[in-house]
Amino acid sequence: MPNLDDVIWAVITSRDPTTLREALSGGQAYIDVISNDTFLEILRYHPEDLDVNEIRFVLIEFLNKWGCRLRNYDSLTAENLKHSIVGIHPELLVTKDFSILSFNFDVVENRERIERIFNSFWFYGSQIAKNFGPTATSKVLHIINPDLFVMWDDAIRLHYRIQNNNIIESGRGYCLFLIEIKRIAEGLVEECRARFNVTNLASWVSERLNINPPHSLTKFIDEFNWLAYKRGLIRPPDWVCPFR
């Protein structure tokens, strides 16, 4: 389980132009989406009013820059994606004010809601596009609520499956993954409070590193997951946290 130094190292390394140009390119695509307040407001609260071309050139463009390779030369994928978002919107609204820290996974109804939301986009196949899978699903959900939903991919799933073999490509598997992420997040927050007397870890890291707009804790954990489990990098043993 990553500690605070691991995550801070990953956040800094992901923004080092001499180390990971791929991460910088993806990072800019992410910032472009989460900075688009008008689009996000409609996506999160009034998805029925989404313009299909905005879905194409904002959301699907982001997904493709992050390796999803979705069909985007016409509006078919965007129309199908809009249909899925609108259909599950009532369930998403219930989760809109929750973060990974505040969501109660002990409640059966909450776990089932996460599963339904995930499965509405992908359930051993997708009506959105043939290659719209569990990775793209997690990315869309993260953009809708970046405080709760965490992105994953094949390599990240494989790592967490070692700890829990029920973490598979399914709604239940994704819910179990989020439970693991919550455990990590709670440990990070407690360590940050003990070491630095800071209670809002994500805001603090964003401010210290001049990350604008500020990123969520789930995004910072994802950056560690990507570096460690996708790229196979580890924090050097002599690395020292620059924060005091």
- What is d(CA 1, CA 160) in angstroms, rounded to the nearest whole number? 10
Would 239 be classed as within a structural domain? no
Mean pLDDT, range 153-160, rounded to an integer: 96
**Domain coverage including residue 171:** 4-230
Under 8 Å between Cβ of 165 and 180? no
Q: State which amino acid sits at residue 86.
A: V
Domain count, the chain: 1
pTM: predicted TM-score of the whole model, two decimal places = 0.95
Would 80 be classed as within a structural domain? yes
pLDDT higher than threshold 70 for residue 24: no
- What is d(CA 127, CA 83) in angstroms, rounded to the nearest whole number? 10
Which alpha helices (DSSP H) does 164-216 contain, by range? Answer: 171-196, 201-208
Q: Residue 16: pLDDT band by 50, 70, 90 thresholds?
A: confident
User: How high is the mean pLDDT of the chain?
Assistant: 94
Quote the pLDDT of residue 109. 98
Going by C-alpha positions, the residue among 190, 204, 184 that lies closest to residue 244 is: 204
pLDDT tens digits, residue range 96-113? Answer: 999 999 999 999 999 999
Would 34 be classed as within a structural domain? yes
Would 236 be classed as within a structural domain? no
Q: State which amino acid sits at residue 50.
A: L
Q: At what angle do helices 4-13 and 201-208 cross, to 10 degrees?
A: 40
pLDDT higher than threshold 60 for residue 151: yes
Would 97 be classed as within a structural domain? yes
pLDDT higher than threshold 80 for residue 22: no
Would 15 be classed as within a structural domain? yes
**What tokens appear for 108 in the block?**
């059966």
